Chain A
Amino acid sequence: MKRFTWYLLSVAIALSLVLSACVAPTAAPQPTQPEAAAPAAAATEPATPAEAAAPTNTPPPTPTAAPVPEGATQIAFWHSMGGDIGGKAIPQLATDFNLSQQKCYVTPTYQGSYDDSLNKLKAGLQSKDIPAVVQVFDIGTRLMIDLGVATPVQDFIDAEGYDISDLETNVLAYYTVEDKLWSMPFNTSNPMLYYNKDMFRAAGLDPEKPPRTWDEFAEAARKLTQRDADGKVTIPGATFAIYGWFFEQFNAVSAGYYADNENGRAAPATAAAFNSPEGVAILEWWKGLYDEGVMGNLGRKTVDVRNAFMAQQTGMIIESTATLRGMIDTAEGKFEIGTAFLPRPNEEAYEKSGTIIGGASVWILKDRPAEEQACAWEFIKFLAAPPQQAYWHTMSGYYPIRKAAYDESLDQEWRAKYPQFQTAIDQLHIAPNNRYTQGGLIGVFPAARQTIEGAIEEVLAGKATPQEALDNAAASVTAAIEEYNIAMGITQ
C-alpha cells in the first residue's frame, strides 16, 4: 500500500512535469485560441435576444463567441455579473454587438465582485492594464471621478449629439455630477417590499392592499407573526437584512440627507448627515419591531433573508428589484409573491421624496487609445438601446434605463406575464427628481455602508440607542470623508 501511494505520487509528478513542459509554452500566445473561434457555429447561430429569452425553464444555449473581423479594434469589458446573467446574458449581449458591426470587437470578462473589480482596476492603473469599458457600482461614482481615470460619456454625447431625452430622468440624475453624465447607467434597480400573498390571506390581510407606511407595515407584521403555545415567535412577520443600502433608501424616502452639501451633490461632501431625526426615526421603527418580536434578524446577508422568505419562514422582506425574476421562478407552484413600494414613514412622504436608484453603470477609461474609446462608446450605446435593455430587463429584473424599452414586445409580454415587475417601474416613475432621490455622493461609500451596518447591529443588540449609534457612525464616516478629501486634494 505504501509502495502504491508512492507510485501514484511519482506518476503524478512525472505526468505533471510532462504536462507543464508542453502546456505552458503553447498557452503563451493568445488571445484567439482555436476552440473559442469556431466561426461556423457562431455564424449559423445569430442568437437574437428575443429568441434567447423566450423560454424560462429551458436555458438558451451558451452563446458562442463571434469571430474577430479583420482590422477590428478589440476592446475589453470588465463586469461583475455572476450567475446566469453574467454567464449568459452578458456574453450574449457582447456577441450580438460583435455581430452587429465589423469595426469593433468587445470581449467581456468577469472580474469578481464590484469590490474585486474596482481593486483590480486600481492595481492595473499603474501599469495601464485596464479595459476600455468597466462596470462600476453606483456607490463607486465619486471615487471614479476623483481618480481621474475616466472620459465622461458626456463628451461623447456632446460630440455626437446623442439624444438622451428617452433615458429615465432619475437614473441619469444619479450619474450626473457637476452637470456632466460621467458614465452610462447599465443595470439599475430599486428596493421594494416583497410579501407572501398566501400568508397575507391566512392572516386575514388583503393581499391586494400591501402596507404603504411604516405604521401599516408594523400592523401587517404583527398579524403575520406566528407564535407557538408559549407565545414564542416561530415565524416573524417581517425580516430585514442588516444592509446599509436599505438604510440609505429608507433615509431617502424620509427626505433625509446622507451627507452634507445636499448629499454631496451641491458641492463635494465634507461630513456625514445621516444622524438626523430622519435617520434616527428609521432605526427606532426597526428596533421597535424587533423588540416586539415581529421583525426577524438573520444578519447582514440579503441572500439568507431571501431564502427564509422563499421557505415561507417570514412574510415580508425588503429586496432589490433585481432579485425578482429569480424569486418568481423559485416560488412558482409554492406561493404567490406580491411586490409593493418601499414603505414610507407616512403618506405625505410619497410626495416629497422617493427611492434612490441602485445598481451599476459602465465607464470609459481615458488611458485607452482614442479608437478603443470610440469603440467603447459604440458598445455602450448598443447596451443602452431599447432591444438590449428590454432583453436585459427580462433576463435579470434590472429595469430598463430608457422608456422606449417598455414598448418592445418582449418587454410587454414579460410584464403581462409577471405584473410584479410593474411595481419597480412605477416606483421609479413616482419618485421626484431631487437631491434626496439622487442619493449620497461620497468617495468612501463602501466603507460608510459597513459602518452603518455596524450601527444597526449595535442598536438591535441594545448596545446603543439609535441616536448614539448613528452619531458614532457619522463621526467615523466624517473622518473618513475628511481623509479622503485630503488624499484626493478636494478643497472647498
Chain B
Amino acid sequence: MTLSHQTRRNIVRGLTYLLLIGIAVLVLFPLWSAFTISMLDDAEVASYPPRLAPSHLHLTNFKRALEQAPLLRYLFNSITQSTIVMVGQLVTASLAAFAFAFIDFKGRNIVFLVFLSTLMIPWEATIIPNYLTIQAIGWTDTFQGLSAPFLATAFGTFLLRQFFLTIPKELHDAAVIDGAGNLRFLVTIVLPLARPALGTLAVYSFLQTYNQYLWPLLITNNQDMRTVQIGIALLQDEERFMFNIVMAGVVLILVPTFTLFIAGNRQLIRGLTAGAVKG
C-alpha cells in the first residue's frame, strides 16, 4: 500500500507539530510550575506527589509576598533602571556602530578591535572599581548610580555594526549626494532599516539589567531604591522556605519581562537571524 503524496506530507507535518508541541511543553513547564506553585496554600505546597495544577485561584500568596517585600516599588525601580540602560545602550551603540560602519577614519579597525577586546573583561573584575567610582561621585541610592556603568556596550556596538554593514554603502552615498548629514542619514535611513537589530539589543539589554542582583545590592542601601531581584532574595527565608510565596513574587516580576518579550518577539527572532545570511 502506498500513501499518496498528500497523506505523506500530512503525516510529516503532524509529526513536526507533535515534536514542536513537545518542546513547547518542556519550555513552558517551569513557567507553568511557577504559576501553579504560586497558587497553592501552605499545606498543598508540601504535599506529595506535587500538584500539577492549582486547585483554585488562591491569591493570598501574592498578598503575602507584597507584605514581605515592597515588590511594587521594586518593580518600578527595576523597570526604570532597565529602561534607562536600554535607551542609553540603544543611543550609544547605534552612534558608535554608525561610526564603525559608515565613517572612514584612520585606525578604525584598530579602535574597533580595542573596543571588542573589552568584551573579554569579565564584569566581576570591574564591579568593585565601578562601585568605588559611583560611591565617590555620591551616586549611591540613585538611578544614575544604578545605570551609569551600563550605558555603553561593546556587545551592542558589535551587534549593530554587523547589521549596519549589511546596509548598502550606496544608500549612504545617495544620502550624501542629496545633502543629508551623517546624523540625518542615521536617524531617517539606517535606524528604520535596523529595527530588528535595535529590537534585539533593546530586549537583551533590558533583560540583562532587569536580572541584575549584585550591582543593585552593592549600590543601594535605601529600601526604596532596591530592585526586584533583591526583592526575590528577601522573600527567601533560609530557615523557613515558603516556595508558594517566593513563586508568587517570581510570577509578579515576570509580568514586565513577558510584556516586553511579547512586544519585541518578532524583532527578536528576526534580529537573531538577521545577518546570518548576508544578502
- Taking a contact as CB atoms under 8 Å apart, the answer to whether B263 and A326 are in contact is no
Instruction: Say whether A303 faces chain B, with CB atoms less than 8 Å apart.
Output: yes
> What would be 17 A-B contacts, judged by CB atoms less than 8 Å apart?
A12-B83, A16-B87, A17-B87, A20-B80, A20-B84, A31-B222, A59-B67, A62-B67, A87-B68, A110-B233, A116-B217, A120-B218, A126-B132, A311-B46, A323-B239, A333-B43, A334-B43
Nearest A residue to B142, CB-CB: A28
CA distance A323 to B87 in the complex (A): 45
- Taking a contact as CB atoms under 8 Å apart, the answer to whether B42 and A24 are in contact is no
CA distance A417 to B152 in the complex (A): 59
CA distance A120 to B260 in the complex (A): 32
**Shortest Cβ gap from A293 to chain B (Å):** 19
Instruction: Say whether B69 faces chain A, with CB atoms less than 8 Å apart.
Output: yes
> What's the dominant secondary structure at chain A's contact region?
helix
- A82: contacting residue among B131, B222, B233, B243, CB under 8 A: B233
CA distance A306 to B135 in the complex (A): 41
- Taking a contact as CB atoms under 8 Å apart, the answer to whether A12 and B67 are in contact is no
A9/B263 contact (C-beta < 8 A), A20-B87, A24-B84 known: yes
**Shortest Cβ gap from A113 to chain B (Å):** 7
Closest 5 CB pairs of A and B: A83-B237, A326-B240, A87-B68, A311-B48, A16-B83
Instruction: Say whether B173 faces chain A, with CB atoms less than 8 Å apart.
Output: no
Write out the residue numbers on chain B whose beta carbons fall within 8 Å of the beta carbon of A307.
46, 243
Instruction: Say whether A374 faces chain B, with CB atoms less than 8 Å apart.
Output: no
**Shortest Cβ gap from B58 to chain A (Å):** 14
**Contact surface of A with B, Cβ cutoff 8 Å:** 1-2, 5-6, 8-9, 12-13, 16-17, 19-20, 23-24, 27-28, 30-31, 33, 35-36, 59, 62, 76, 81-88, 107, 109-113, 116, 120, 123, 126-127, 129, 131, 189, 303, 306-307, 310-313, 320, 322-323, 325-326, 329-334, 396-397
CA distance A31 to B225 in the complex (A): 10
- Taking a contact as CB atoms under 8 Å apart, the answer to whether A127 and B136 are in contact is yes
- Taking a contact as CB atoms under 8 Å apart, the answer to whether A23 and B80 are in contact is yes
Write out the residue numbers on chain B whose beta carbons fall within 8 Å of the beta carbon of A112.
213, 217, 230, 233
Write out the residue numbers on chain A whose beta carbons fall within 8 Å of the beta carbon of B239.
83, 189, 320, 322-323, 326, 396-397
Write out the residue numbers on chain B whose beta carbons fall within 8 Å of the beta carbon of A396.
239-240
Chain B interface size, as a band, is 35 or more
Write out the residue numbers on chain B whose beta carbons fall within 8 Å of the beta carbon of A113.
233, 238
**Contact surface of B with A, Cβ cutoff 8 Å:** 42-43, 46-48, 64, 67-69, 80, 83-84, 86-87, 90, 128, 131-132, 135-136, 140-144, 195, 199, 202, 213-214, 217-218, 221-225, 230, 233-243, 245, 260, 263-267
Write out the residue numbers on chain B whose beta carbons fall within 8 Å of the beta carbon of A109.
221-223
Write out the residue numbers on chain A whose beta carbons fall within 8 Å of the beta carbon of B68.
83-84, 86-88
CA distance A396 to B242 in the complex (A): 14
Nearest A residue to B64, CB-CB: A59
CA distance A86 to B67 in the complex (A): 11
CA distance A320 to B238 in the complex (A): 10
- B237: contacting residue among A33, A82, A111, A131, CB under 8 A: A82
